[in-house]
Amino acid sequence: MSYIDCFNHSYAGNFAGLPVYHPLQDIDPEGKDEFSATTKNLVLGGGSGEHPGMIVKDLDYCVWKYLECLADIANKECYEIKFYTDYLDALPNQQFNEEGVYGNLHFAHWGLERISRFTQEVEKEFEDSVKYFTNKDNFKNTSTEEKIHIMLGEFIFFSAKELISDNLREYIDNNIHLLEESKIDLSAPFAAVKVLPKGYPGYSGRCLIIDDQGNEKVQWGLRYDEEYSIDRILNDPNRMDRSRKLRM
């Protein structure tokens, strides 16, 4: 059992050899344990008992890096395209600077060897797609951190839109046509988060249920795409100490 198994969460898939989790409650907000995370984050690796955790903090940033990547694929410049400039001009407090890719990923207790292995997996995953791009030279200076953001951003955009902030999601919904007008294809070239088809046995992910005797208990195997099915009141982080470890 890993550290994240002490808290309610869902399992989203695997990325670069690591499981991807979505917390259903705040984890260690005071920063006294292995790592802290919220329901607005994704966590790669479950911590002790599994693999040290990596917390992806600003998921909007991942989505935006993916959307910018689409311009590079089409050999276009973002600063010349209305879809990108209008958003950044209208919301200057949410501008995503290039340095942000380094601070947006928190590697909790990772050693250099683990970072090196993970980097190799990320680079291979990215290259397996980019090698087919007509304009692949546009990505020769892309950092590993950017590649992580791009590939996770693609997953969030297509499969986890609920994790995008209301402001960005509304902007995308109202203005995505501007990309098409600029001849930028809304493609999904990476598909880097691997998800088992429904029906396979699941062991990762947990939530609270009420059993036949009316008792509160933990149920294992919760997938991210099944979060809609859980008892929202029972699993509401606000009904309990948001960081406490729930009994098995």
pLDDT in tens, 39-61: 999 999 999 989 999 999 999 99
- Distance (Å, whole) CA 149 – CA 58: 10
Look at residue 84 and tell me if it is in a domain.
yes
Residues 64, 166, single domain; the answer is yes
Residues 65, 185, single domain; the answer is yes
Look at residue 245 and tell me if it is in a domain.
no
Look at residue 49 and tell me if it is in a domain.
yes
Look at residue 248 and tell me if it is in a domain.
no
- Distance (Å, whole) CA 167 – CA 207: 29
The CB density around residue 51, as the number of other CB atoms within 10 Å, is: 17
Residues 65, 187, single domain; the answer is yes
- Distance (Å, whole) CA 101 – CA 130: 20
Residues of the chain with pLDDT under 70: 91-98, 239-248
pLDDT at 112: 97
Residues 124, 101, single domain; the answer is yes
pLDDT at 211: 85
Residues 118, 154, single domain; the answer is yes
Look at residue 146 and tell me if it is in a domain.
yes
Task: Quick: pLDDT tens for 79-96.
Answer: 999 999 998 887 655 556
Residue 47, phi then psi, degrees to nearest 5: 90, -165
Look at residue 120 and tell me if it is in a domain.
yes
Structural domain ending residue among the three candidates 161, 179, 194:
194
pLDDT at 10: 96
Strands (E), 88-215: 105-107, 193-194, 206-210
Residues 72, 187, single domain; the answer is yes
Residues 141, 164, single domain; the answer is yes
Structural domain ending residue among the three candidates 194, 214, 230:
194
Residues 132, 159, single domain; the answer is yes
How many domains, in total, are found in the chain?
2
Q: Give residue 36's domain range.
A: 3-56+196-239
- Beta-bridge mates of residue 27: 37
Which one-letter DSSP state was computed for residue 162?
A: G
Residues 207, 185, single domain; the answer is no
Would you mind telling me the total number of residues written for the chain in this entry?
248
Look at residue 78 and tell me if it is in a domain.
yes
Look at residue 247 and tell me if it is in a domain.
no
CA dihedral 145, 151, 152, 153 (to 10 degrees): 100
Measured in Å, how far apart are the chain's first and last C-alpha atoms? Answer: 11
Residues 205, 181, single domain; the answer is no
* Closest C-alpha to 203, from 224, 221, 185: 221
Work out whether the CA dihedral 202, 206, 210, 216 comes out positive or negative: positive
pLDDT at 240: 53
Residues 189, 207, single domain; the answer is no
Residues 46, 63, single domain; the answer is no
* Residue 80 three-state SS: helix
